[in-house]
Every structure is written in C-alpha cells, then in structure tokens.
Chains A and B, each alone.
Chain A
Amino acid sequence: MSTAVLSRQKMPFLPDIKSSEERSSTPEGKSPKSRYRNPLRHNVYVTMLRQGFHRSFADLYSLMKFWNETRQAAGPDSALWKARSVEEQPYKLETLQLFLTRAEAASRAGDHGSVYESQLALARFFSHPEDKWLSHHFYQMSLVSARKIKIDGGKKEAEANAHIGQVYLEQGQVELAKEHYEAFRHLAAGRTWHDGEGRTHYSRSCEGLCRVYTLLADRALQSQEYKTAIQILTKAYEMAKEAGDRQIEGNAAYRVGLAYQKAGDQLTAKRFLNIYMEISKILSDANNVGKAYKAIAKSLESEDKLTETIQSLEKFAEVSQNSDQQQNLIEAYMSLGMSFNSRGQYDQSCQYFEQAYETACALESVPLLHKAQVCLASARAHRMLRAYIIHVEAGGRQSVQRLISWKESRQDTFNEPAHELSMLQKGQLDSYTQ
C-alpha cells in the first residue's frame, strides 16, 4: 500500500535543470571559470587575497620577486639561472600558501604560538640546498613572532635564537651567530627546558657558543693575534665545561693548550694539555691521549727539556701501539727519530726511523714511506759522516783503503773492525801498489 502511495508521487523523469536552488548551492569559496585559464601562481595569489590574507600575499610576492631579481642579477651563466622557481613547483607553492595563511589567521586571532609553529614548519620544509634562503627567511620570521609570545617564559624565543644561530653558522657569519647563541644561552640559563632528545637547552646553547668561539679564535689565530685568540678560547673552554660534555670540554682544553703553545707560554699550555689528557684517559680515547702526549712533547721540546720530550714521545708511541693506530705510531717514531737526530744521536735516530719505515711499509702508505725513507737515509749519512772524517784526517794506507772500498761499494763499513777489511781487500790493494 505504502509503495503505491510513494509511486504516485510526482517524480520528474529528467532532473529539473531550471530550478535555481540547485545551481545556487555551490560550495562556499567556489572559484570562477578563469581558474582553469590562469597559471598556478596566479591562482594561489588570488585565492590568498580572496580569503583576505593580504600579509601572506605580500610576503610571498616579495619573496618571489626577490628571487627573480637575484636570478636576473646573477645572469644566464650562473647556476641560479637554470634553477626552477618555487612558483613553478606546485607542491612547494601550495605548502607555502597553506602555512602562510595559517600563520596569518593565527596572528589575526592573536595566537603567536601557532604563528611560530607555522613559520617553523615552513623553515623546516625548505631543507633542500637550493631552498635554503627560504628556510633562513622563515627562521628569521619565527624569531620575530617568538618574541611576541609572552606566556612560555621565552622558551620559543630561545629556540628561535638557536635556529638562527645555526643558520648564521652555516652561512659563515660568526659574529651574528654569536649574538644569537648568547641570547639563547641567556634565555635558557637556569631553566630546565629539554628538547626531544632529552638534552637541556642550556647545555645545547653552551655547546653552540663553544663552537662559535672556536671559529672566532681560529680567525684570530690566522691573523696571529694570540692574545685575543687565547681569551676567546678560554671562554670557549668555560662554555664547554658548562655544556657538561667531557668530549667537548677536552677538545676545548686542547685548543687552549695549543694556543698557549703558539703564544710561547709553555707552562700554561702543558697545564691545559694535561687536562685534555686526563679527560681523554677517562673517556679512554687512545687517539686523543696520543695527541695530548705529542702536544706536550712539543711544549717540552721548546723548553729544551730533551729527556722529558723523549719520554713523552715514547709514551705517545706506546699508546699508539697499544691501540693499534699505525698512523699515529709512524708519527711518534718519526718525531722520536727527529728529536734524536737533532741531538746528534744518530744511532737511536736511525733505529726509530727504521721502525717508522717498517710501519709505513705495513700500512702501504706511499707518502709516509717516502718521508721515512728520506729521514732514515739522512740519519744514516750523518751517522757515517763522523767515521768518514776520522778516516780522512788520519790518512795512512789503511784509512785510504777503507775510503776507496767505501767509494766502490757505498757500504757503510767504517765502524767494522779493521782486520776483516784488510783481509778481504789485501790482494786487491797489493795489485794497485805494484
């Protein structure tokens, strides 16, 4: 019965195309037909404007303009000329649109936290090297909006500063990086903020500052301003201590030590190098312990404490041997050889050079091998020189005989007992005299 009633209702055979209700119920934000005619960039801009996001529009427009101008200025020969504009890459353009509008909507509502999040998301999104400039721009923006956040005690601001410091470090603008890292440290001091990996922000800031100071000090060292370099490096060492990472602390101490060494203050240098050694021992990092011994030996050498130098170098060799670090071992042997060589103890010198040579052979490292060969040869020559001179000065038949035999065979036989030689070459000499 009911089906009959229903079937009697007037059902049009074709849909009613004239009814205006159907047509007017297009979804909100429908786009005009021109959407299909215009390029994507046009549509993105117009959609933003249509929703009232004038700031996003201005931001994006000026960014793209800046890029185009840079490209024009770079000229057709540059790599930038061939790079594709972000405007031609739909995925990137739409991401920009999404986050920029989200940020603007949040800023209109006064929610600076969300603005910061959106900008940070954009900064992280453009991680590809050719988009680095965009990433940098959005990190800057995120710092500006992070400064407006009041409720979190400056945590976001601190993070934003850290990001920008990182950016400047990448760009090589160390001074600016220093400013931001210092701000970061200042904000993070005395707080217990953690990042995702469980490290405190404060420790991170100290680590960053340590890196920045090291870079600054390198510059000072290059221009041979040791005093400033030492000052900066000492700051770096303090930062490293506060960062709570022994590895970094050790390295910082090592750098301070080296700087003092260059400046000529061997005592202080040794003090710092010993700190470095102790830390390295605690961390049982044989490589670094070796490095420490080597540096200390250098200090001792410039103080003319030769026995101690050799002791230190021998320890270096020992540590290297124990930890099976051939490269360091060669270095240790070479240094030992050199130092004996400089004192005129050619026997020991030869011995160590020989060891260095053998190790280099085992390592199959040709440049080291060559070096060892040359050093060994020169040490041997020096060793022989004294005997040679004695023979020349002594004169007499026997000595001349020896000299002649050396000239022929080029074998170092000066130190061998005299009779062996005379037996060997008697007949030959007799024939000469007759």
Chain B
Amino acid sequence: MSAKLNPLANPKGQKKLCEICQKPAHIQCTRCRVTFYCNTEHQQADWVSIHEKVCQLLILIRKPAPFHAVQADRDKQRNEIRRRQEELIEISQAAARRRLSEGSHQEALPAAQFSLRCAMDVYGSSAIRLVPSYLLMAEASMGLGKLVQAKEYLSLAEWTVVQTPNCSNNTLHQLHRNMGRLYAATGDLEEALWHLAEDVFYATEGFGLDSVVTCQGYFLMANVFLRQNKADIANSIYSEVARKWHIHLTRLLVQKHTQEHVQAEQLLDEGQRAEAEQTLRTLLEAQEQSSKPQLEQSAILAHCLAMLWYLSDCSEKALEFGRKAMELSQQVSELNLSDPIKALLERAEESLMVVKTN
C-alpha cells in the first residue's frame, strides 16, 4: 500500500509534501501514486479519515496535465478537474461532519483539512465557501482540546464573513455557535453568551422559530448560564429545548406513520440524531440527579428519547425509555402524555416482535 520515497531523489523543482503535516514526504500511496506522507502513521490516519473515499478521484486532479493541442480540449479538461474538485469538497465535508457527530474528532481532522485545501484550490483563499471547512477544522480542533488552533480557524472564518455582505443565515449561525463553544471552553462566558445569542437568532431567521436547529444553541446557552449560577434561567431554557424536541419528534412520528415508505434517515439525519440523543440524555440525567426533580420535565424527556430510538429503529431502547416515560407521566396528573406513550409502546413492541421472528 505504501512505497518508499527518498526526498533527495525527487525531480528538481518538485516538492512532495506530507498530506497531513506538510513536511517532506518519505512514502507514497501506491493506489493513486499522487499522495505522499512522511510516515505510515499519517498515512493510516488519512486513510481512515478520508483517503479511502477519495483515493481514485484524486488521480485526475493531481497527475500532470496531459498536453492538448486544441483550446476546446484544454477547457474541457479544466472544467472536468473543477467539477471533480467540487465533488471532493462535498465528500470530504460530509465525512468530517459524520465523524464529528460520532464524536471522533481525531478522525475528522484530516478530512476537514482536506476539504479546506480543496476549497482553497477552487475558490481562492478568502472566499465565503471556505467558511464551512474552517468551521469543521475549528470544531475538530476544539474537540481535541486544541483551543488556540480552533481560535485561529474561527477568526479566519469570522474575517471572511465580515468581508462578505449578505452571508447566508446558516453560515452565520454555525460560525457563531462555534465561537460560542470556543469562548465557553476558554471560560469567557460573557462573550460566549453573545455569540450563542447570535447563533440562536440566525438559526431562527434561517429555519423558523420552531425549528430544532436552534436547540443546540439554546442548550449551550443554558450550560453557560448554569456555570454562571443562574439556575432559573438555565432551567427555563432547558425546558424550552425539551419542548421543542418533543414537538419535533411527535411530528416526525406522525410523518413516519402516515408515509409508509419514508426511511429513518430521511426524517432525521445522523448529525441531528446524535445531537438530539446527547442533548436529551444529558437533560434526563440531570433531572434524575437533581435534588428536586420536575416529574413533568422528566416525562417529556423520556418520551422524547423513546420516540428518538423508535425513529432510529432501535425498539429495545425505545421500549426502555417508553416505560420510564409511562411511569413518570402517571405521576403527573395534568400532563396528557399517557395516550401517545401507550401507542408508542405498542408500536415498539410490534416491531420488536417482527425483528425476533425474522
């Protein structure tokens, strides 16, 4: 899979640099022959993260351009390369995002880096299109605890956004969310709150008031308020988050039942699912551990989790949480959750039976 390479033996003027760390390379990927690494560890990391998916696609881009005598052919070649590069950006960003939602930041980093490099090749060094890649890099770095690097990437992203008027709300909301995360991590809570507030605002502008996109921003804000010892504000926001997810998941459940052919992935993508699972679980655990738990809140959260697991076709967990929700909702008299929970439990049991008989 890897062939040895001596930097001194390279043709003059050509520098083979490591894909990961940009140092002189010593080995080469034997499949595409256009990617180089300084050692096998880097190659391994790149392979796992992104190279496996893009290895063959890279050949056309990186190999020396063949000579075409006619201008039309040269244009065609250039367009083909450009198209391929844009495709690569999308693939690598999706890969990085998936890794991030899985929580494996180390594996996300090479993919994010690759997407950034591709984007720079295509769009230049100060285009707004670079911002998603910057944000991925920042998020991965933050996950690894490399705050200085994260800050660097974020300030690059911010600078690009400031230079570009009429940015899309989506970009702005993601930028501010990451800034908020960063400041929360560095302990500058005031600044974090400002950025998270901007995040929620832009998310609301872009996706509407009831969208669950705003939930993560709210959740992070509530965490910051909790660190400032403002428990009442934090609790109020937590219940808002729970309420939003509850509405959203109930709606998805109805969709799933009314439209037979809809796949689970269409209703709830991987990133959202992971985010919801993490948020709701954290909230439920916090409720269970708190000294004066609000039963109503816990019931809603447990119901949310049950719906979430049912939607991702995991009937056992759905049953577990559904039973918990049932138990909790029976203790709260004014909550009308018993019927939907009962229906959910029945459906979950049904699908469990189907799985077992198969």
Query: Taking beta carbons and an 8 Å cutoff, which residues of A are in contact with B?
Result: 28-32, 34, 42, 45-50, 52, 54-55, 57-58, 61-62, 65, 108-109
Contact = CB atoms under 8 A, between A and B. Distances in A.
Interface of B: 190-191, 193-194, 196-198, 200-201, 204, 209, 218, 221, 225, 230, 232-234, 236-237, 240
A52 B200 contact: no
A55 B232 CA distance: 13
B230 A52 contact: yes
A44 B191 CA distance: 17
Given A61-B209, A62-B209, A109-B232, A52 B194 contact: no
3 pairs of A and B residues whose beta carbons are closest in the complex: A49-B197, A52-B233, A50-B197
Given A45-B201, A50-B194, A54-B237, 8 more contacts: A30-B190, A46-B198, A49-B196, A49-B201, A50-B193, A52-B237, A58-B209, A61-B204
Contact of A31 (B194, B230, B233, B237): B194
Contacts, number: 49
22 contacts: A28-B190, A32-B191, A34-B198, A42-B201, A46-B194, A49-B200, A49-B201, A49-B221, A50-B193, A50-B194, A50-B197, A52-B221, A52-B230, A52-B233, A52-B234, A52-B236, A54-B237, A54-B240, A55-B236, A61-B204, A65-B209, A108-B233
Between A30, A34, A45, A49, the greatest number of chain B beta carbons within 10 A of the residue's beta carbon is seen for A49
Nearest to A29: B190
Nearest to B198: A46
Nearest to A31: B194
Nearest to B204: A61
A34 B162 CA distance: 9
Nearest to A108: B232
Contacts of A34: 198
A42 B193 CA distance: 15
A109 B233 CA distance: 10
A46 B233 contact: no
A414 to B, nearest CB: 90
A31 B198 CA distance: 12
A109 B204 CA distance: 27
B209 A55 contact: no
A34 B204 CA distance: 18
Contact of B201 (A32, A46, A109): A46
A260 B201 CA distance: 63
B272 to A, nearest CB: 20
Contacts of B194: 31-32, 46, 50
B225 A52 contact: yes
A308 B121 CA distance: 107
B279 to A, nearest CB: 15
A321 to B, nearest CB: 69
Contacts of A109: 232
Nearest to A62: B209
Contacts of A46: 194, 197-198, 201
Nearest to A47: B197
A348 B62 CA distance: 120
B206 to A, nearest CB: 13
Contacts of B197: 46-50
Contacts of A28: 190
Nearest to A42: B201
A109 B198 CA distance: 26
Nearest to B158: A34
A315 B200 CA distance: 77
A30 B209 CA distance: 26
B244 to A, nearest CB: 10
B168 to A, nearest CB: 15
Nearest to B228: A52
Contacts of B193: 50
A318 B191 CA distance: 84
Nearest to B233: A52
Contacts of A42: 201
A52 B218 CA distance: 9
A58 B209 CA distance: 7
Nearest to A59: B209
A122 B317 CA distance: 48
A82 B230 CA distance: 44
A108 to B, nearest CB: 5
A217 to B, nearest CB: 40
Contacts of B237: 52, 54
A54 B232 contact: no
A42 B209 CA distance: 15
Contacts of A32: 191, 194
Nearest to A26: B190
Contacts of A30: 190
B137 to A, nearest CB: 23
B312 to A, nearest CB: 28
Contacts of B225: 52
Contacts of A45: 201
B345 to A, nearest CB: 32
B236 A54 contact: yes
Nearest to A28: B190
B153 to A, nearest CB: 19
Contacts of B236: 52, 54-55, 108
A32 B230 CA distance: 22
A28 B193 CA distance: 12
A42 B204 CA distance: 12
A49 B233 CA distance: 11
B59 to A, nearest CB: 45
A54 B218 contact: yes
Nearest to B222: A52
Between A29, A45, A55, the greatest number of chain B beta carbons within 10 A of the residue's beta carbon is seen for A45
Contacts of A65: 209
A107 to B, nearest CB: 9
Contacts of A49: 196-197, 200-201, 221
